[in-house]
């Protein structure tokens, strides 16, 4: 009995039609072997190489946690094959962070959020500035928002915008304290990722501004905005990783150790990526920290307002 010879291999890619000469298409990257996978191969593909024990994720997480500045320098040097790209890493870790927050905090009481105090102080400062200018009789009514101890938002001012905001905030004020807390937490988890994505380029812009000039003295220092953005993504992802550990590990000494590691990590990564003198890095870090803290405050305030108004 004669056996049928296997069909000749098709030299064309099944995906794009280009002529192939290896295991992968040089044009689109698809593998040339298109046979159906075995059950084991199917499950491996389902989990993905990203989370496989021999995948890039674990190598990337180790470098991210214990080698400050390494991933940024490797990416800028073109060594990107064996590590997760910074944008994908930032996205994945932010999603994990919000999932852990939901699991660990649940419907915890958020009535003592710092943002409530910050909004109250900011609006009182604005009100004080308005009272200081009461001598001007032509002053137009201004918009003010105060927050009391029961998390009630009181909108002042007689403008059209003030009336609309007052109407929306009044719907929030009639809720119980527990319902208000749950609304704020749900809003934070729903819109928090958008705030993070908006804050990331702000942090990169602050880094770029703080390191303007003296590029010739430090030729390896990041100069382009995209380079600062890569470092910002890696540093934020490290912060997300630390926050996850803080939420998961309730042991106070471990949290103190993590806090000390964060301080060392930032200093070490700045030295590794940007170089320069110790005092120069310290002053630039102080400027970025102060400016970015203000940006985070505005972001959290916007997050609270979105949680209340966009319902």
Q: Is the pLDDT of residue 126 over 60?
A: no
Q: Is the pLDDT of residue 75 over 60?
A: yes
3-state secondary structure 201-267: HHHHHHHHHHCCCCCCCCCCCCCCHHHHHHHHHHHHHHHHHHHHHHHHCCCHHHHHHHHHHHHHHHH
pLDDT of residue 238: 96
Most confident of 14-18, 92-96, 205-209, 298-302: 205-209
Q: Locate tokens 């430090």: which residue?
A: 218
Q: Tell me what the mean pLDDT of segment 163-181 comes to.
A: 82
Q: Name the residue with higher pLDDT: 156 or 51.
A: 156
Provide, rounded to the nearest whole percent, the portion of the chain with pLDDT above 90. 32
pLDDT of residue 216: 63
**Is residue 29 classed as helix, strand or coil in its secondary structure?**
coil
pLDDT of residue 5: 46
User: Are the C-beta atoms of residues 18 and 12 closer than 8 Å to each other?
Assistant: yes
Q: Is the pLDDT of residue 39 over 80?
A: no
User: Are the C-beta atoms of residues 84 and 96 closer than 8 Å to each other?
Assistant: no
Q: Name the residue with higher pLDDT: 216 or 113.
A: 216
pLDDT band at 107 (very low <50, low <70, confident <90, very high): very low
Beta strands per DSSP E along the chain: 144-147, 153-156
Rounded CA gap, 244 and 166, in Å? 37
């Amino acid at each position: 009995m004669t056996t049928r010879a296997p069909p000749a291999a098709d030299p064309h890619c099944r995906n794009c039609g280009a002529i192939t000469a290896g295991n992968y298409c040089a044009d689109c990257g698809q593998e040339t072997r298109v046979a159906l996978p075995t059950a084991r191969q199917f499950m491996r593909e389902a989990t993905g190489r990203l989370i496989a024990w021999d995948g890039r994720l674990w190598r990337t997480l180790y470098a991210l946690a214990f080698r400050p500045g390494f991933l940024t320098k490797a990416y800028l040097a073109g060594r990107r094959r064996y590590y997760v790209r910074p944008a994908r890493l930032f996205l994945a870790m932010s999603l994990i962070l919000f999932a852990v927050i939901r699991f660990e905090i649940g419907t915890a009481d958020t009535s003592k959020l710092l943002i409530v105090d910050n909004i109250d102080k900011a609006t009182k400062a604005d009100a004080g500035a308005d009272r200081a200018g009461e001598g001007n009789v032509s002053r137009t009514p201004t918009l003010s928002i105060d927050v009391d101890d029961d998390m009630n938002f009181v909108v002042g001012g007689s403008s059209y915008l003030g009336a609309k905001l007052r109407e929306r905030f009044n719907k929030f004020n009639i809720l119980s304290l527990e319902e208000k807390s749950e609304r704020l937490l749900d809003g934070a988890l729903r819109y928090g990722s958008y705030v993070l994505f908006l804050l990331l380029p702000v942090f990169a812009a602050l880094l770029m501004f703080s390191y303007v000039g003296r590029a010739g003295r430090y030729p390896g220092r990041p100069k382009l905005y995209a380079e600062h953005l890569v470092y910002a993504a890696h540093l934020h992802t490290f912060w997300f990783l630390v926050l996850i550990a803080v939420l998961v590990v309730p042991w106070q000494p471990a949290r103190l150790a993590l806090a000390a590691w964060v301080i060392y990590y930032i200093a070490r990564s700045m030295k590794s990526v940007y170089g320069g003198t110790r005092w120069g890095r310290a002053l630039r870090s102080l400027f970025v920290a102060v400016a970015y803290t203000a940006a985070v405050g505005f972001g959290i305030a916007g997050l609270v307002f979105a949680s209340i108004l966009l319902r």
